[in-house]
Amino acid sequence: MWKDRQALQCLISVLLAFLTSASLSPGQPKYMVLVPSQLYTETPEKICFNLHDLNETVTVRASLQSSWGTRSLSNEFVVDKDKFHCDSFTLPRVSASDEKVSLSVHIKGPTHEFNKKSTVLVQNKESVVFVQTDKPVYKPGQSGTKVHHGLWSEEAIMNMAQRRPGSLDLTRKFSLSLFLQSSFGLSLWIKTYAPSMSW
């Protein structure tokens, strides 16, 4: 599930091109940093650096500054030739549901120093459960069938209660059960509410 989210984040990733006006000339150093525009806490994230046309040894550092302090996203590393380098990092849970933070990149060499800041959004990871059933919509009283995925066996049973006459409650209650293969001996019951639908 999180791999799919990360693939999607690549499509909406922010591309931070750290080019000074002098670096637009051929042969001048070029710096590029790639990081998702939206980062999730308690989930592995990745930051990548592409350093090209270097004419001196440089030290590269990246960090996030926020209300909870400064956090390094990458181990400081030294580069003396063209390099593409990625580092993984995991952010701790934040007190707010989401927070805008400042991403700072610092590249320094003997004759050249470059600093760039940009804003990214940090959100707490949400727990989500996906259940595949044999059809997308169930009418009241219908039940689902098992869908097998390797070691996992999912069984969805939906019992929809009819809306009480005269009630202003526009939701229909249903319960959904998810079973793991019997060798694991585990089961998980999820109770939730669905919006009212016309049948």
Q: What is the pLDDT, as a whole number, of residue 57? A: 93
| Selected residue with higher pLDDT from 116 and 170 | 116
Q: What is the mean pLDDT of residues 15-19?
A: 39
Q: What is the pLDDT, as a whole number, of residue 58? A: 93
Q: What is the mean pLDDT of residues 130-147?
A: 64
| Contact call for residues 110 and 57 (beta carbons, < 8 A) | yes
- Residue 131, pLDDT above cutoff 70: no
Q: What is the pLDDT, as a whole number, of residue 102? A: 92
Classify residue 7 by its DSSP letter.
H
- Residue 149, pLDDT above cutoff 70: no
Q: What is the pLDDT, as a whole number, of residue 17? A: 38
Which residue is it, tokens 């030294």?
Answer: 78
Q: What is the pLDDT of residues 24-82, one digit of tens each?
A: 567 788 888 888 888 888 889 999 988 888 889 999 999 999 887 889 888 889 998 88
* Domains of the chain: residue spans and CATH: 2-123 (2.60.40.1930), 129-199 (no CATH)
Q: What is the pLDDT of residues 71-126, one digit of tens each?
A: 988 888 999 888 998 999 998 888 877 889 999 999 999 988 889 999 999 988 87
Q: What is the pLDDT, as a whole number, of residue 106? A: 92
Q: What is the pLDDT, as a whole number, of residue 127? A: 60
Q: What is the pLDDT, as a whole number, of residue 78? A: 93
Q: What is the pLDDT, as a whole number, of residue 125? A: 82
| Contact call for residues 16 and 105 (beta carbons, < 8 A) | yes
Q: Please provide the DSSP assignment of 68-93 as one string.
A: TEEEESS--EEESS-EEEEEEE-BPP
Taking the model in full, what pTM does it have?
Answer: 0.53
Q: Three-state DSSP class for 11?
A: helix
Distance CA 192, CA 144 (A): 16
Q: What is the pLDDT, as a whole number, of residue 163? A: 40
Q: What is the pLDDT, as a whole number, of residue 30? A: 85
Q: What is the pLDDT of residues 155-164, one digit of tens each?
A: 333 333 334 4
Q: Going by C-beta distance under 8 Å and a sequence separation of 6 or more, which residues neighbour residue 125?
A: 40, 41, 42, 43, 93
